[in-house]
């Protein structure tokens, strides 16, 4: 009989993320049969042994492990048996609650210091998927951008800053992860904003259009919408007090957006790539080297600090930004394109409100970058 994870000591996915970031050390033991993607953390020790292998000879498995262990499976069920067997051999084994499904949903917040009195910016990281969202608070008001489905997490973050969520924005119709924007707006009564071109793509719920150049007041701070087409036609960034750009899925700290998720055929993707080239050079890099980039994605894994490089550092780190010719840029992007995100068409439909919400659509890390 398979025992529930409560039969052994457990750890939440969010607590695991913090422990992998700050210690004390533990080894991640992945007991899934297929571990092609898993829990990533700089400097963390990881080990893969299928559950059947561990249970066949727990003593031998224990001898391969050093120190405390976090046992992860798909949903946190079979890991319970493994943890109990290892504990019987003297290993301090913890079950990761919810397994990899729990890890996908784990959230961490990291502060971004823009040096402005009365302004708080928190970057919310999803280490299991590499998605980044933001809470921007001034006075008693908070703006949340690109939230994950766990709406209560953002309400709690805003409350910790002495604010309530008054506005929620999705920078575009996401293709690789499910949006929590509607759920958060429903929970808080906040105004929900989507870029105007997203409404033209088809959105089946009530929303207020966000146009290029529109301003959003958050307490004493002004946030300005900046159209950044290329990844999609509706991709829109947000400038915070002229100090930082929330770039969504247009430019990342180490790469550029892929152009093929809205217009999938080669000719359409080529046209979108040329549009992205203009966006990068005429709309983003033109903001100035000192502006901080707050991207919509990073690589999956835990981070001790926020991902917030100045544009000067991004310019130096991303080779595609050194391609001056739009046609050459487009061909370079299309030549190195990774596989499209799993279930991306259904994910877009969920985020547009034309398909039922289904958390099973999210799997693996994000794939909105060309890297």
Q: Report pLDDT digits (tens) over 111-158.
A: 999 999 999 999 999 999 999 999 999 999 999 999 999 999 999 999
The answer to whether residues 96 and 241 belong to one domain is no
pTM (2 decimals)? Answer: 0.94
pLDDT at 6 over 60: no
The answer to whether residues 281 and 211 belong to one domain is yes
From 72, 88, 103, give the residue that closes a domain: 103
The answer to whether residues 228 and 211 belong to one domain is yes
Share of the chain above pLDDT 70, in %: 96
Give the per-residue pLDDT at 2: 42
Domain containing residue 124: CATH number: 3.60.15.10
Give the pLDDT confidence of 156-200 residue by residue, as tens digits: 999 999 999 999 999 999 999 999 999 999 999 999 999 999 999
From 60, 86, 103, give the residue that closes a domain: 103
The answer to whether residues 279 and 184 belong to one domain is yes
From 75, 103, 131, give the residue that closes a domain: 103
Domain span holding position 28: 5-103
The answer to whether residues 24 and 138 belong to one domain is no
Residues in Cβ contact with 183 at an 8 Å cutoff, skipping those fewer than 6 apart:
149, 151
Asked, for residue 371, whether it belongs to a domain, the answer is: no
Strands 131-138 and 119-126: antiparallel
The answer to whether residues 154 and 272 belong to one domain is yes
The domain tally of the chain equals 2
Q: Is 143 helix (H, G, I), strand (E, B) or coil?
A: strand
The answer to whether residues 85 and 112 belong to one domain is no
Nearest to 129 by CA among 36, 52, 40, 199: 40
The answer to whether residues 40 and 167 belong to one domain is no
Asked, for residue 222, whether it belongs to a domain, the answer is: yes
Nearest to 347 by CA among 205, 149, 116, 70: 149
The answer to whether residues 126 and 67 belong to one domain is no
The answer to whether residues 311 and 325 belong to one domain is yes
């Amino acid at each position: 009989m398979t025992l529930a994870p409560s039969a052994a000591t457990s750890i939440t996915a969010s607590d695991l993320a913090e422990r992998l970031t700050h210690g004390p050390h533990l080894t991640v033991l992945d007991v899934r049969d297929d571990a092609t993607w898993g829990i990533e953390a700089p400097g963390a020790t990881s080990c893969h042994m299928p559950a059947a292998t561990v249970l066949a000879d727990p003593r031998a498995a224990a001898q391969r492990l050093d120190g405390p262990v976090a046992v992860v499976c798909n949903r946190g069920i079979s890991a319970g048996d493994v943890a109990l067997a290892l504990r019987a051999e003297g290993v301090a084994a913890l079950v990761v609650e919810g397994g990899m499904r729990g890890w996908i949903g784990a959230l961490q917040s990291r502060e971004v210091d823009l040096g402005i009195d009365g302004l708080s910016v928190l970057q919310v990281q999803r280490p299991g998927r590499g998605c980044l969202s933001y809470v921007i608070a001034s006075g008693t008001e908070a703006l949340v951008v690109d939230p994950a489905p766990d709406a209560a997490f953002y309400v709690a973050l805003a409350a910790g800053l002495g604010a309530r969520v008054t506005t929620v924005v999705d920078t575009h119709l996401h293709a690789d992860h499910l949006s929590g924007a509607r759920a958060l707006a429903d929970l808080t009564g906040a105004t929900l904003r989507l870029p105007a071109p997203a409404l033209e793509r088809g959105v089946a719920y009530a929303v207020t259009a966000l146009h290029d150049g529109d301003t959003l007041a958050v307490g004493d701070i002004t946030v300005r919408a900046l159209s950044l087409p290329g990844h999609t036609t509706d991709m829109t960034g947000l400038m915070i007090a002229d100090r930082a750009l929330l770039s969504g899925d247009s430019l990342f700290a180490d790469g550029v957006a892929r152009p093929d998720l809205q217009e999938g055929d080669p000719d359409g993707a080529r046209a979108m790539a040329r549009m992205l080239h203009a966006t990068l050079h005429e709309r983003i890099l033109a903001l100035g080297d000192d502006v901080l980039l707050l991207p919509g994605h990073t690589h999956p894994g835990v981070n001790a600090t926020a991902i917030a490089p100045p544009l000067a550092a991004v310019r130096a780190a991303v080779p595609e930004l050194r391609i001056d010719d739009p046609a050459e840029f487009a061909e370079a992007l299309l030549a190195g394109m990774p596989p499209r995100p799993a279930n991306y068409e259904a994910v877009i439909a969920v985020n547009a409100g034309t398909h039922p919400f289904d958390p099973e659509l999210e799997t693996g890390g994000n794939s909105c970058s060309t890297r």
